[in-house]
Structure 1
Amino acid sequence: MKAEELVAITAQHVEKLFAGEGSGHDWWHIKRVWQNALSIARLENADLTVVQLGALLHDIADWKFNAGDEEAGPRAAKKWLQEHDAPEELMEKVCQIIREVTFKGAGVDTTPSTLEGKVVQDADRLDAIGAIGIGRAFAYGGHKGREMYHPGEEPRLHASFEEYKKNQGATLNHFYEKLFLLKDRFSTAAGRQLAQQRHAYMEQFVEQFLQEWHGEETPPAAFQLTAKAD
């Protein structure tokens, strides 16, 4: 099977699999990641087939929805690619991207080992920030039954993936525990440039959210953006 055909049928498969998903990890998220990854890959001269398949399959069995199993995604992706006679080398490259793409906590370095992995990770992180990132954060929080915000519950900068997996904090904490950190963790020049405006928009949103929540009061120190930047 030609690479173009494999990408096309993979896109069709993933669209059917994730249609109507309500946690922010739906087909439209995957499609945005796919298109952003393709744009970045062309600028970075990355392998377009590996990047496209990595982007399309990066959430095929996310650990968050599979009892914390980090290998669920690579297994599901490999099974799909094997069924369509993909070369072994291609399968391994795609599965490596899926293993390395996810954020694992503030204290964990998750820089991918390949250019293609960096491209897909940057595209995925772009969709985690900005206006869409805000919407996805609250969609996921609602899906998990979490409060939007709890002033007495401070954000935690998780030192390990296991600690991060166990996190049950309110959605606003997620901005401090992950989303505000992403701007400085992009690997490609295009990703870093695109992240700047989206990051600034998130800061404005959180500042407005806290002003509306607390009224004339000052938000707790852990939720003050100026304090977090020092």
Structure 2
Amino acid sequence: MTEQELIDITKDFVKKELKNAEGGHDWFHTERVYKNALLISKQENVNVLVVQLAALLHDIADSKFHNGDETVGPRKARAFLFQNNVDSAVIEHVIKIIENMSFKNSLEDAERFSSEELKVVQDADRLDAIGAIGIARCFNYGGFKNREMYNPDIEPNLDLTKEDYKKSTAPTINHFYEKLLLLKDQMNTKTARRIASDRHNYMEGFLKQFYAEWEGKK
């Protein structure tokens, strides 16, 4: 099997697995992350096959939709790659990326796996969490969980632990301060930092407009 054939098979697998997924974590999210990862990879010295596979499989079973179980996604990804006779070193690298790339894991004071490939895929995923797409995804998930859009009486928690983050039921606007507005400064690569700057500014503009409308000023 050629690398391109493997990528095509992986895309088909992910599309089927995510057929009925929540709109912010569906195949189209994965496809955007994949495209972002390819763009960033052009400027980085990385194993592009590892980047592609990790980007495609990173949300194959998001723990948010599996009762917080963080082992489901890596387990599904490993089984798929093994069934398709992918080199064991590639499998292990892809799994480590999936296990270590999420924002919530960055809230832990623990030494974590890192690689140039992980940095690329992590940036690609985080770019999809900000800007216009990020805003849309944020409110889509908030609606999915039936959360308030905004409640002036509930302040954002700026000192979240991983467990706090996983258990949060805060209004959607709080998520901007607890995560989305923090991502610009957490990008690993020059390409991602450049893109993130524009998307970050867009979110700040949105929030100014949101509050103005909320208060009846515009």
SS at match of 2:7: helix
Query: d(CA) in 1 for partners of 2:105 and 2:78?
Result: 26
Q: In the alignment, what sits opposite 2:139?
A: 138
State how 1:73-112 maps to structure 2 within 5 Å. 73-104=73-104, 107-108=107-108
Q: Tell me the TM-score normalized by structure 1.
A: 0.89
- 1:69, distance to aligned residue in structure 2 (A): 1.2
For structure 1, which runs of at least 5 residues remain unmatched after alignment? 217-230
| CA apart distance, 1:176 | 0.3
- TM-superposed CA distance for 1:42, in Å, is 1.8
Describe the superposition over 1:170-216 as per-residue Cα deviations: whole angstroms up to 9, x where unpaired.
10000000000000000001000110000000000011011111225
Per-residue CA distance 1:6-38 (angstroms, 9 max, x = gap):
111001111222235333111111101001101
Question: In the superposition, relative to structure 1, how do residues 27 and 197 fare at CA in structure 2: closer, same or farther (>3 Å)?
Answer: same
Could you say which residue in structure 2 is the equivalent of 1:16?
A: 16
Report what 2:201 is aligned to.
Answer: 200
Amino acid at match of 1:103: F
Map Cα deviations across residues 85-140 of structure 1 (whole Å, 9 max, x no partner).
11111111001110111111774479860000000000001100000000000001
- TM-score, reference length from structure 2: 0.94
Q: Amino acid of the residue matched to residue 54 of structure 1?
A: A
Aligned-partner Cα distance in 2 for 1:109–1:41: 28
Hey, what does 2:118 align to over in structure 1? 117
Q: Counterpart in 2 of 1:128?
A: 129
Task: Answer whether contact 2:160 2:178 (CA < 8 A) is retained.
Answer: no
Q: 1:43 to 1:208 in 2, by over 3 A?
A: same
Query: Where in structure 2 are the equivalents of 1:129-208 lying within 5 Å?
Result: 129-208=130-209
Distance 2:167 2:131 in 1: 25
Counterparts in 2 of 1:35 and 1:109: CA distance versus 1, 3 Å: farther
How much does 1:159 deviate? Answer: 3.6
Q: Which moved more, 1:207-216 or 1:104-113?
A: 104-113
Preserved contact between residue 127 and residue 133 of structure 1 (Cα < 8 Å):
yes
Contact residue 106 and residue 158 of structure 1 kept, 8 A = no
CA displacement at 1:39 relative to structure 2: 1.2
- Cα separation, 1, equivalents of 2:98 and 2:193: 21
> Could you say which residue in structure 2 is the equivalent of 1:228?
none
Counterpart position of 1:225: none
Distance in 1 between residues matched to 2:113 and 2:203, nearest whole Å: 25
In 2, Cα distance between equivalents of 1:3 and 1:133: 31
Two-structure CA RMSD over aligned residues (Å):
1.8
Change (3 A) 1:112 1:205: farther
The one-letter code matched in structure 2 to 1:183 is K
In structure 2, distance between residues paired with 1:112 and 1:175: 27
State the partner residue of 1:39. 39
Between 1:76-85 and 1:18-27, the stretch displaced more is: 18-27
Give the fraction of aligned pairs with identical amino acids, expressed as a percent.
52
Question: What CA distance in whole angstroms lies between the structure 2 residues aligned with 1:37 and 1:112?
Answer: 19
Is the alpha carbon distance of 1:107 and 1:14 closer, same or farther for their aligned partners in structure 2, counting shifts above 3 Å?
closer
Q: Partners of 1:3 and 1:129 in 2: how far apart?
A: 31
Provide the rounded CA distance (Å) in 1 between the counterparts of 2:168 and 2:127: 22
